[in-house]
Chain A
Amino acid sequence: MVGSLNCSVCKKNAVFLSPLLCKEHFIYYFEKKVEGAIKKFRLINKKEGVVVAVSGGKDSMSLLYVLNKKGYNVTALAIDEGIAGYRKNTLETMKKFCTKNGVPYKIVSFKKEFGKTLDEIIILHKERPCSVCGVFRRYLLNKYSKGFDVLATGHNMDDEAQAILMNLIKTNISLFNRLGPVSGKTKSKKFTRRVKPFYFCSEKEIMVYSFLNNLNTGFNECPNIEFAFRLRIRDILNHISIKKPEIKRKIIDWFLKNRRGEDNSLYKEDVSECDTCGEASAKGICSACAFMKKFNK
């Protein structure tokens, strides 16, 4: 191939620049990176039942693929928020993959659980979509991951760096307890431990891995993303990355070095129950039930 650089290991054409690797060695490098994070933070072991939160996009499909390939005991859990023109295709991708590979899956929907799709909620109640969606998704992931040892999500290095910056800008330090490679109130039976095996993988690395393994489903972005503060932070970080490609990893490393860790009081605190649904809640009524109460007035 004209002008191609060669793989630093085998001299075949490179498909990735940093590190300089061909297809075969990039796949090896990526999988080692994921396994390295799993080992370093003791995220999952092969005896545990792992439920993977799957949207059908490149991150979650790659996560399901790599964990299944490496012999973890995986089940896919998808949430259909009810966003027209967005979720249907990705759910089909997930169903096809699971059927082909013998992976069990479950799909739960906002409509069935809460009586309304996200689209209906936005129109009827004039709510900011990301606020409602975030609360309802977390609620359903927690509810339907019970019975499994661990809930794995496709959050990557870009997501984490964005979240760290967002919390800093909002000066909301308490939200840092939700970040890190392992999150959730791990000492409480009301929560399933949440882990992020792609903690050190960039979006680009995941996209390359997904492309090389034919997992790519085409560009698919939530139509509500324009409302999200995250979008602006994402663009700023990607802009800085042109001159400082290591910036996202540096933010993550700074966070890991300076966070208070598992011994802080918020982490240890016992979780009370929601008065309405009985699910875990820091307050008398959980955020999902608070929204439902508001919507049903």
Chain B
Amino acid sequence: MMIIFIEKTNKKIRKKFNGKVGLLLKKLKIPPETVIVVRNRELITEEDVLADKDIIKIMSVISGG
């Protein structure tokens, strides 16, 4: 089960998923332009493939106001 930490909402979700980061973002309804994705403290792109055991962090690029 993948663990996904969404920084903006400070929520941790568990999800069964295998596939590209881009597909995961689509499933989560998050526009790729609005976030960066980090795995093991390393930046990954929408084309990186995730495994079900991965722990990832989705960080919003939008801040301020």
Count residues on chain B whose CB falls below 8 Å from chain A CBs: 25
**A1 nearest in chain B by CB position:** B48
Interface residues of A in 1-52 (CB under 8 A from B): 1-5, 14-17, 23
**CA gap between A3 and B20 in the complex, in Å:** 8
Known: A1-B44, A4-B48, A219-B7. A234 touches B62 (CB 8 A): yes
Instruction: Tell me which residues across on chain A come within 8 A of B63, comparing CB atoms.
Output: 57-59, 219-221
Spot the interface stretch: A167-175, A178-186, A203-211, A271-279: A203-211
Q: Report if A228 contacts B (CB, 8 A).
A: yes
**A58 nearest in chain B by CB position:** B63
Residue among B46, B47, B48, B64 facing the most chain A CB atoms (10 A cut-off): B64
Residue among A16, A23, A224, A238 facing the most chain B CB atoms (10 A cut-off): A238
Spot the interface stretch: A108-116, A142-150, A239-247, A288-296: A239-247
**A217 nearest in chain B by CB position:** B63
Shortest distance between the CB of A265 and any CB in chain B (Å): 33
**CA gap between A242 and B44 in the complex, in Å:** 18
Shortest distance between the CB of B27 and any CB in chain A (Å): 14
Q: Report if A218 contacts B (CB, 8 A).
A: yes
Q: Report if A266 contacts B (CB, 8 A).
A: no
**CA gap between A3 and B38 in the complex, in Å:** 15
Q: B33 touching A219 by the CB < 8 A rule? A: no
Q: A14 touching B45 by the CB < 8 A rule? A: yes
Known: A207-B61, A211-B59, A222-B65. A241 touches B45 (CB 8 A): no
Known: A55-B64, A211-B36. A219 touches B47 (CB 8 A): no
Q: Report if B1 contacts A (CB, 8 A).
A: no
Count residues on chain A whose CB falls below 8 Å from chain B CBs: 37
> A211's contact among B32, B33, B43, B62, by CB below 8 Å, is which?
B43
Shortest distance between the CB of A82 and any CB in chain B (Å): 15
0/1 string, A209-253, CB within 8 A of B gives 1: 001100010111110110010000010001101100100000000
Q: A17 touching B46 by the CB < 8 A rule? A: yes
Q: Which residues of B contact A (CB under 8 A)?
A: 7-8, 20, 31-34, 36, 38, 42-49, 51, 59-65
A-B complex: 4 closest residue pairs judged by Cβ atoms = A222-B65, A3-B49, A207-B61, A225-B65
19 pairs, CB–CB < 8 Å, chain A vs chain B = A3-B20, A3-B47, A17-B47, A23-B43, A58-B61, A59-B64, A202-B33, A204-B33, A204-B34, A208-B36, A211-B36, A218-B7, A219-B8, A221-B63, A221-B64, A222-B65, A238-B33, A238-B34, A242-B33
